[in-house]
A and B are shown apart, each in its own frame.
Chain A
Amino acid sequence: MKIIVCVKMVPDTTTKIVVAGNGKDIDRSGVEYVLNPYDEYAVEEALSIKERFSGSEVVILSLGPSESTKTIRTALAMGADRGVLLKAESTDPFVVAKALADEISSMDPGLVLLGKQAVDDDANQVGGLVAEFLGLPFVSSIIKLEISEDRAVAQREREGGYDVVEVPLPCVLSAQRGLNEPRYTTMKGIMMSKRKPIEEKEPILSESLLEVTSLHLPPPRSGGKIVGEGKEAVPELVRLLKEEAKIL
């Protein structure tokens, strides 16, 4: 089975966000980039499927700036076989998904996996778009997966519970936290990843449908009020919640 995993290079989740000079992006100086955490679950799932279905191949596909090869390399170090980088930048999920789908359509995938969202733009839509462009069924936010030769049974998280969903292969699945525990990269894996091929391509991007007009920070929260110490402070807290906050 050929498994395509779409990944994205994103700022580390501890990054302090500063608005860039143009007021439309974050200041990227000094930002550390990592493999999107949700994509890690997708990579892990692909690798565990590969271990069960001999002759499978795991291909890592990313759209991003040239530094994204580092992100792809992380997935290769985990055990993926090869990478494809679509060297381009766009903040429009529609444009990104179209380019990814165009590339995937030439790859004859048995399964497409990706994170449910990237932790930079939190858009949570590329998976659904890719599936629709490819004409493949899609299940989002999966927390459990069983794969057989021609179908998948997945648990899709939902508000207040989950759905057990059966879907024929090939299909597109987006990974939610809880799906698995991503493996750590080993020194051997890192060494081996250096010899694995990453093909770089320049995709043709479609017209943007969204345009960022401004990026700004939320108003700071004015907290920091200590009511008191220990349970002696409880009556005063309850009074404040009732009279000042008007909630209890």
Chain B
Amino acid sequence: MDKAIYLDIELCVGCGACAIACMDQNDIYPEKGQPAFRRIYRIEEGKFPDASIRYLSVACMHCEDSPCVVGCPTGAITKNDRTGAILVKKELCIGCHSCALACPFGVPRYDPDEKMEKCNLCTERVEAGLEPACVRVCPMGALKFESPNKIQGVKESKFVSNMVTAVHRAGSRQ
């Protein structure tokens, strides 16, 4: 896989700009019953005054080994060789919901014609050298479009730097 969309949940504030940018990019109109590709969740934990809140912005994960691709009986779901995006050929979709059963994340949704709809990784934008619309808009920089190993590298160096700081602080206290 080349690049993937990552969500840094430490940075996400659940504003929903990504969901709207996605609807703008993909001409999705909820009032027509068209399902959003990206959805926002708000999860509260604990009780006042010690409660905390987390936000998540969720869309198709474009899995490397996609259960939906395997599950689709008509071959409507395929993997794009260039971007790694999992794409739906709507003309082949028969609305059987096999993909819904297969997907561990609950991603597939169906339009009023019972055709499956989901995030297409902004394939045309990515092929033109642009970021996906949701990543571009994110005011907190919580959504990133990067190669998985590079993201992991950034995460790792942040962890290492925090650990060094903690060790240093502990040392200076003694």
Q: Is chain B found bound to chain A in the same assembly?
A: no
